[in-house]
Amino acid sequence: AAGMFLRLLSDIQWRAAHPKWRRMTSSQRSTSTTAEPHPVSLPAQAQVVICGGGIMGTSVAYHLSKMGWKDIVLLEQGRLAAGTTRFCAGIVSTARPVSVELKMAHYSNKLYQQLEQETGVQTGYMKTGSISLAQTQDRLISLKRIASSLNVMGIPCEIISPKKVLQLHPLINIHDLVGAMYVPEDALVSSANVSLALATAASRNGVQIHERTTVSHITVQKGRVTGVETDRGRIQCEYFVNCAGQWAYELGHSGEEPVHIPLHACEHFYLLTHPLKEPLSSSLPTVVDPDGRIYIRNWQGGILSGGFEKNPKPLFTEGRNQLEIQNLQEDWDHFGPLLSALLRRMPGLEALQIMQLVNCPESFTPDMRCIMGESPTARGYFVLAGMNSAGISYGGGAGKYLAEWMVNGYPSANVWPLDVKRFGTLQSSRTFLRHRVMEVMPLMYDLKVPRWDFQTGRQLRTSPLYDRLDAQGARWMEKHGFERVKYFVPPGKDLLDLDHSKTFYKPDWFDIVGSEVKCCKEAVCVIDMSSFTKFEISSTGDQALESLQYLFSNDLDVPVGHVVHTGMLNEKGGYENDCSIARLSKRSFFMISPTDQQVHCWSWLKNHLPDDSNLVMEDVTWKYTALNLIGPRAVDVLSELSYAPMTAEHFPSLFCKEMSVGYANGIRVMSITHTGEPGFVLYIPIEYALHVYNEVMNMGQKYGIRNAGYYALRSLRIEKFFAFWGQDLDAFTTPMECGREFQVKLEKGMQFLGQEALLEQKQNGVYKRFTMFILEDHDTDMDLWPWWGEPIFRNGRYVGKTTSSAYSYTLERHVCLGFVHHFDEKTGEELVVTTDFINQGEYEIDIAGQRFQAKAKLYPFSSLFTQRRRKDEVELSGYQRE
Amino acid sequence: FYLTPPQVNSILKANEYSFKVPEFDGKNVSSVLGFDSNQLPANAPIEDRRSAATCLQTRGMLLGVFDGHAGCACAQAVSERLFYYIAVSLLPHETLLEIENAVESGRALLPILQWHKHPNDYFSKEASKLYFNSLRTYWQELIDLNSGETTDVREALINAFKRLDNDISLEAQVGDPNSFLNYLVLRVAFSGATACVAHVDGVDLHIANTGDSRAMLGVQEEDGSWSAVNLSYDHNAQNEREVERVKMEHPKSEEKSLVKQDRLLGLLMPFRAFGDVKFKWSIELQKRVIESGPDQLNDNEYTKFIPPNYYTPPYLTAEPEVIHHRLRPQDKFLVLATDGLWETMHRQDVARIVGEYLTGVHHQQPIAVGGYKVTLGQMHGLLTERRARISSVFEDQNAATHLIRHAVGNNEFGTVDHERLSKMLSLPEELARMYRDDITIIVVQFNSHVIGAYQDEE
């Protein structure tokens, strides 16, 4: 039956031009089970070895060979396009919430459209369009948000009425619909044939393809890939690309030094039917009914319909080969709810005859985004896997980005949301993955409202104060496995209600966070910020200073005890990381970076620091609990606890000192708060954490101290126009573009990474500018709230997107931060963005299709700073992270 | 008026209890995965009792159900005491000595049992000293008797049952200076209780049964289907061997009066039981004890009433019938239940319902379309029907609760009918007993891997 399916689904038409390869594959197709002698032996060495002949592997091979790399070997354990790719439903859909995913899908669509012409392989490409249905107003809002971002990318897309839905697809029952989104250029393909077409083109470009070759492990020496061991011998190589799909996790763990690729397979079911009496047209649009958890496409006159059920069935947790993919059983009882949803959506299909229920495993990742990039532990080891069932939509674009990454050192777009380095070993537990993907799979079609959190795999990394804070009403979110407080529910509030506060509008915690913010402004608050990544770098001589001076743009040769905010930039001047570095002594530095930088920053430093045994770097994240004391009374609390004067004369801003707090000694106190408000962060060795916390809370009572969470911090930093890395800042943003020139010391007397690019920008100007927007006619109570990713319009023309937003309790207005570009009105070419350009525009922010007037500002409100503070105490800018 | 499904659930689940054996208890890997138990009262208060405990000084686990009659006092006492008697009977000489020495010198005692109790399963504080003294006398005798032989489980069970019944009888004859206790021991002796106890140690399963509760083994056949194996015989009029036994023990002249209307002496349903001294003591002894007893006892018509044709007591014994079974990998679970369950359900149905519950619904034959012509609508109808059939399974986290739901709510088609369930559970107290008896169930789940490993070793 499986063999029949291969033919039914993909209609393989094999016309590879490469004679060597055609012989090999055709002989194997005729005898599918017996192993044969391989006509072509493996080369002894190659520049690149790709493992996996699915859509990902073939796409990487295709793009690498197009970019001029020729010495490439692609290995496939079975046959090309025979795994998940073969069974994939073949829907190319561009409606993706994350911008880089949207770009990949858009590129894939364009690529597949011309692929048949390019290669001569029939891909079954058919532009059918797709309709995403909304059964609720909230769903319609989420579709409108996606529609906004598709439109500004030039992808046709419209929100349509139920009546229009019926015109596009006569079988749909529209009685329970409130609207829909129509994307006319979405397409259908035969995914196996797309993969074969890519392989054909790659093969013509010189890529060697070997089927029935199993990779056993990768050899790594001195942190670099050196070769690949297969069941047919060894290939020496410089680069290895793991495109092994659902087996990528295990392949990553097969070597001596594991490469963590956190993904896990789940069974995925779809139904195939015989043709209707009057066969469905092959141009009929694909229907996605997320509230019913199903998708429906036309298929050979009948339909193909699958979905993402509430109770997924994870598999292969214990490892591969328990059962072959081919032996997976149909499970009608499991599919029942999806079948109900299908018949509810298309009642006319009752009499349609079933052909088969296909069980096709898909791999899912802990955060629903795919995994690509270079391993932090083995240079030259690249990964592209974990497509969360959107492999065919992403295939083309993902392969292109990865090829660019390998050839150019970095892709042409910011792919941090997909970077394998966003994960560490902690997301690699099989139990964690099994539990998390059971949440992720239904989430594919769940409504995602602002600030949703994962519920599984929680309480993994916690601060020593976790229980104390939890008992005081803390509500938690998770970052990089670490539990962080969102806000504290005051006693007596209805808790159940707060848990159901997920909405696109004003959330229930509005007043709670408001009072925390007020306390930060008027008294003092404590926020546990232990999750931040903390490194110590020291050396016997000047090596530490010299190396860091090269890697950071600000001048680190400051007196001992000073704290420096600085970017860690790449060659193009873009932010690889944004940190605060304290000079602890002449030869040692303490570095604070965002929580999710733990793996990325470590590997960046490892790759860039000289290999010198006198230079020591240590990850001390786990050693310290960080308490952020924010507010005008923080100084009083701390001086009472330490019997040391903490006023600005004795303890100026951006200063770091080890001191005693309560009974505990050796507390690292820094006069920064990450918010622009006055205060201190205390880095406390963990065994003192509870003591210091108790002392602070006791002593703080008379100053009105209270606990606060990250939502308060976020509101504070955004109204102060502080950008943070990972949200506002990325590898494609330079300090010049976000008003942080003062953190760059071009004249510090030595070369640093990114210097040339910044010099050039200084002379020629920047092409985008980080800007703060105050929403003018936005009603906080009644209107949709901004989140991030909202299009920005200047004088009615699209100029960029927001990157973060928050309600400012001080301004009593919403504040959005985002980047403004200057596109030439005629050519669309990017022009230099000047201060005048920013200041002389009328701005609007598009929230789910509704535009709100906004006032643009390039500098924060000074009035916010001067209350109760002298000007020289101010942390003058822009440093913040979440 | 009807109970809503949540109300029904809260009634059914009020007494449920589950215990999972820790995977590695530090000593040995247990052949028991855990057990679920539950009881549903019909009498107010309920006269059934249940017990479960792990033996700490020997290996093995004890589980039992006890069905009281003429009050719950006897069942309560047996549920508290019997396992101590069994555990002590199983202890080697040295351990007995050690315990006795500890008591003698006021040192801390070795714990003998680890109980697994529902919060409603209480122990009487007042009687504990009295019970302890009787138990101590027993082990002191065991020490004196020291036979030097290793303890045989069968014998230990029989001795424990007989000894406890004897102690119950003696305590009532001797009385107690404390008037509360004095009344208590009399109530225990004049009421009765059956007992069905399982002792599991590795692959050795012993069932000791006295009365008409029942032990049943759930066996999974090779084709996945379920069958039931009885591991106890009911001691009642339906059991010919039991009728024969009673007749053998009394003169031929009494043959006709011994069993009347399927009852012992026309009065008692179970043919073996704890307590029930009215069927054990001589008439003189009964009269003497009642006369010297407290007023409450004298006022009770039942206790004063002497059974008719009462010539050659004792007519009743607590001696259990013991069955030994070596567990096999296909033996998946054991059900111990009072007659309240067996009156309403056939053991074959019990085996199937519990078996399917424990293995999930996966053993419902999966649907395969194969080459048949099936439409989406037909498939949808079929799946909806299947879902309705299994939905009751998902409501329960406890196999015993699930069984009770079926026992009380099953309609003529063998599926749970919510309306019927609701009616049965909302019967007023005085009517409930007419439609159903107290039901107490323990479902013990075995670890087939461990049992398989035991087999391989041999």
For A354, the closest of B374, B386, B387 (CB atoms) is B374
A329 contacts in chain B (CB < 8 Å): 366
Residue A262 lies in a domain: yes
Residue with tokens 């995403």: A132
The answer to whether A663 faces chain B, any CB pair under 8 Å, is: no
Q: Which domain holds residue B189?
A: 5-235+270-280+316-457
Interface contact flag, B369 A352, Cβ < 8 Å:
no
Residue A867 has pLDDT above 50, yes or no: no
Average pLDDT over residues A235-256: 93
The per-residue pLDDT for range A170-195, each reduced to its tens digit, is 999 999 999 999 999 999 999 999 99
Query: B367–A333: do the CB atoms touch at under 8 Å?
Result: yes
CA of A343 vs chain B CAs: smallest distance (Å): 8
For the purposes of burial, counting CB atoms within 10 Å of the CB of A574, is it exposed (0-12), middle (13-18) or buried (19 or more)? buried
My answer on whether A689 and A671 are in the same domain is yes
Q: Into how many domains does chain A fold?
A: 4
pLDDT at A863: 55
Distance, CA of A217 to CA of A75 (rounded, Å): 13
**Cβ within 8 Å, pair A333-B364:** yes
The answer to whether residue A819 is domain-embedded is yes
More confident residue, A767 or A14: A767
Q: Note whether residue A614 is domain-resident.
A: yes
In a domain, A592, yes or no: yes
φ/ψ of A418, rounded to 5, equals: -110, -5
Nearest CB to B380; choose among A331, A333, A340:
A340
Name the residue with tokens 């005729």: A30
What is the per-residue pLDDT for B123? 87
Residues in chain A within 8 Å Cβ distance of B377: 343, 350-351
- B258 domain-assigned: no
- Considering the domain architecture, whether residues A591 and A639 belong to the same structural domain is answered as no
| Nearest Cβ partner for A353 among B367, B374, B380 | B374
For residues A513 and A496, what is the distance between their CA atoms, to the nearest angstrom? 17
Structure tokens at A335: 């599919």
According to DSSP H, which parts of A218-282 are helical? 248-252
At B382, which amino acid appears? L
Taking CB atoms and an 8 Å cutoff, what residues of chain B touch A353?
373-376
Nearest CA in chain A to B361: A333
Condensed to tens digits (0 to 9), the pLDDT of residues B277-312 reads: 999 999 999 989 988 888 777 777 777 788 889 999
Is there a single domain that holds both residue A634 and residue A600?
no
CB contact under 8 A, A351 and B369: no
CB of A323 closer than 8 Å to CB of A285? no
**DSSP structural state of residue B115:** E
pLDDT bracket for residue A861 (50, 70, 90):
confident
Query: What stretch of H or E contains A182?
Result: strand A179-183
Question: Is the Cβ pair B375, A353 closer than 8 Å?
Answer: yes
Q: Do A351 and B380 touch (CB under 8 A)?
A: no
Residue found under tokens 């489980």: B153
Tell me which of A364, A389, A421 is where a domain ends.
Answer: A364
Is residue B224 over pLDDT 90?
Answer: no
Token reading at A850: 């509704």
pLDDT computed for residue B383 by the predictor? 85
- Both structure tokens of A728: 């506002």
Q: Assess contact for A84 and A326: CB atoms under 8 A.
A: no
Residue A451 is predicted with a pLDDT of 81
The CATH code of the domain that includes B223 is: 3.60.40.10
Domain ends where: A334, A364, A394? A364
- The distance of Cα B432 from the centroid of its chain, to the nearest Å, equals 21
Element containing residue A475 per DSSP (H, E): strand A474-479
Task: Search chain A and give the residue with CA nearest B386.
Answer: A333
Residue A185 within any structural domain of the chain: yes
Bridge partners of residue A264, in order along the sequence? A364
Choose between B88 and A21: higher pLDDT. B88
Residues A788 and A872 placed together within one structural domain of the fold: yes
Q: Identify all chain A residues contacting B371, using CB atoms and an 8 Å cutoff.
A: none
Q: How far is CA A8 from CA A29, A298, A355, A356, B299, in A?
A: 15, 14, 11, 12, 88
* A189 and A143 together in one domain: yes
A54 and A197 in a common domain? yes
Residue whose pair of structure tokens reads 């299908």 in the numeric block: A342
Give pLDDT, residue A6. 35
SS (H, E, C) A361-419: CEEECCCCCCEEEECCCCECEEEEECCCCCHHHHHHHHHHHHHHHHHHCCCCCCCHHHE
- Higher pLDDT residue, B157 or A4? B157
Whether A60 and A190 map to the same domain: the answer is yes
Q: Cβ atoms within 10 A of the Cβ of A847, count?
A: 26
Nearest CA in chain B to A305: B376
Residue A349: closest CA among B378, B376, B374, B379: B376
Residue B190 tokens read as 């004049």
DSSP A276: P
Q: pLDDT confidence of B389, banded at 50, 70, 90?
A: low
Residues B361-390 have a mean pLDDT of 75
CA angle B316, B318, B324 (to 5 degrees): 130
Which pLDDT band holds residue B145 (cuts at 50, 70, 90)? confident
Pairwise CB contact (< 8 Å): A332 & B380: no
Helix or strand holding residue A815 (H, E): strand A813-821
Number of H helices, E strands in chain B: 18, 15
Reported in sequence order, the residue ranges of B7-73 that DSSP labels E, i.e. its strands, are 17-20, 32-40, 48-55, 61-69
Q: Report helix, strand or coil for B35.
A: strand
Share of chain B above pLDDT 70, in %: 94
As given in the structure block, the two tokens for residue A101 are: 């995913």
Contact B367, A333 (CB under 8 A): yes
For residues A256 and A268, the answer to whether their CB atoms sit within 8 Å is no
In this complex, the residue of B369, B380, B386 whose CB is nearest that of residue A343 is B380
Q: Does the pLDDT of residue A392 top 90, yes or no? A: yes
* Window A:312-331, CB contacts with B under 8 Å: 329-331
The answer to whether B40 and B439 have CB atoms below 8 angstroms apart is: yes
Is the model more confident about A78 or about A209?
A209
DSSP secondary structure string for all residues of B152-220: PHHHHHHHHHHHHHHHHHHHHHH--SSHHHHHHHHHHHHSEEEEEEEEEETTEEEEEEESS-EEEEEEE
Q: What average pLDDT does the segment B81-86 reach?
A: 96
Q: Which residues pair with A681 in a beta bridge?
A: A628, A670
d(CA A551, CA A544): 11
CB contact (8 A) between residue A351 and residue B386: no
The answer, for A354 touching chain B at a CB cutoff of 8 Å, is: yes
pLDDT value for A879: 40
Which of A339, A364, A389 marks a domain boundary?
A364
* ipTM exceeds 0.85: no
Query: Which residues have C-beta within 8 Å of that of residue A703, sequence separation ≥ 6?
Result: A523, A524, A633, A636, A637
**Percentage of the residues of chain A whose pLDDT score is greater than 90:** 81
User: Is A785 within a domain?
Assistant: yes
Mean local confidence (pLDDT), A420-445: 92
Residue A468 lies in a domain: no
**Mean pLDDT calculated for residue range B9-16:** 90
Assess if residue B43 is contained within a domain.
Answer: yes
- The answer to whether residues B259 and B246 touch, using CB atoms and an 8 Å cutoff, is yes
Q: What are the Cα distances from residue A473, in Å, to A463, A531, A707? A: 16, 19, 10
Confidence label for A26 from pLDDT (cuts 50, 70 and 90): very low
Counting the structural domains of chain B, the total is 1
pLDDT (0 to 100) of residue A319: 72
CA A126 to chain centre: 30
In angstroms, the CA A332 to CA A312 distance is 13
Structure token pair of residue A591: 């570095």
Q: Are residues A675 and A805 in the same domain?
A: no
Range of weakest confidence among A405-409, A512-516, B129-133, B303-307 = B303-307
Q: Closest-CA residue in chain A for B369?
A: A356
What is the average pLDDT across A808-827?
A: 95
> From start to end of B296-430, where are the E strands?
321-326, 331-337
Domain extent for A605: 535-620+734-747
* CA–CA distance, B388 with A327 (Å, rounded to integer): 29
Does A681 map to a domain?
yes
Q: What is the mean pLDDT of residues A726-730?
A: 94
pLDDT at A371 over 80: yes
User: With 50 as the cut, is the pLDDT of residue A12 above it?
Assistant: no
Does B80 have pLDDT greater than 60?
A: yes
Q: Which residue from A268, A305, A271, A307 is spatially nearest to A286, judged by alpha carbons?
A: A305
- Tell me, yes or no, whether A520 and A552 share the same domain: no
Cis ω for the linkage preceding B366 (within 30 of 0) = no
Phi-psi region of A374 (alpha: psi -120 to 50; beta: other; left: phi over 0): beta
Q: Are residues A515 and A578 in the same domain?
A: no
Q: What would the pLDDT profile of A46-57 be if each residue is shown by its tens digit?
A: 999 999 999 999
Q: Write down how long chain A is.
A: 882
Strands B321-326 and B204-210, how do they pair? antiparallel
Which residue, A474, A488, A494, A538, is CA-closest to A517? A488
Please enumerate, as own/partner, the contacts of B222-230 that have beta carbons within 8 Å and a separation of 24 or more. B222/B330, B224/B363, B225/B352, B226/B351, B226/B352, B226/B354, B226/B355, B226/B356, B227/B348, B227/B351, B228/B347, B228/B348, B228/B350, B228/B351, B229/B325, B230/B347
How many other CB atoms sit within 10 Å of the CB of residue A263? 27
Model confidence at A622: pLDDT above 70: yes
Residue A499's pLDDT band (cuts 50, 70, 90): low
Is there a cis peptide before residue B45, judged by omega within 30 degrees of 0? yes
> Burial of B97 by CB count in 10 Å (0-12 exposed, 13-18 middle, 19+ buried)?
middle
Q: Are residues A644 and A690 in the same domain?
A: yes
Structure-token match 């892709």, residue found: A411
Question: CA A771, CA B58: separation in Å to the nearest integer?
Answer: 76
What is the per-residue pLDDT for A416? Answer: 95
A224-230 mean pLDDT = 95
Please state the φ and ψ torsions of residue A239, each to the nearest 5 degrees: -125, 140
CB contact under 8 A, B376 and A343: yes
A571 plus A519 within the same structural domain: no
Buried/exposed A183-219: b ≥16 CB within 10 Å, e otherwise: bebbbbbbbbbbbbbbbbbbbbbebbbbbbbebeebb
Mean pLDDT of chain A: 90
CA contacts within 13 A on the Cβ side of A504: 16
For residue B375, the cross-strand partners are A353
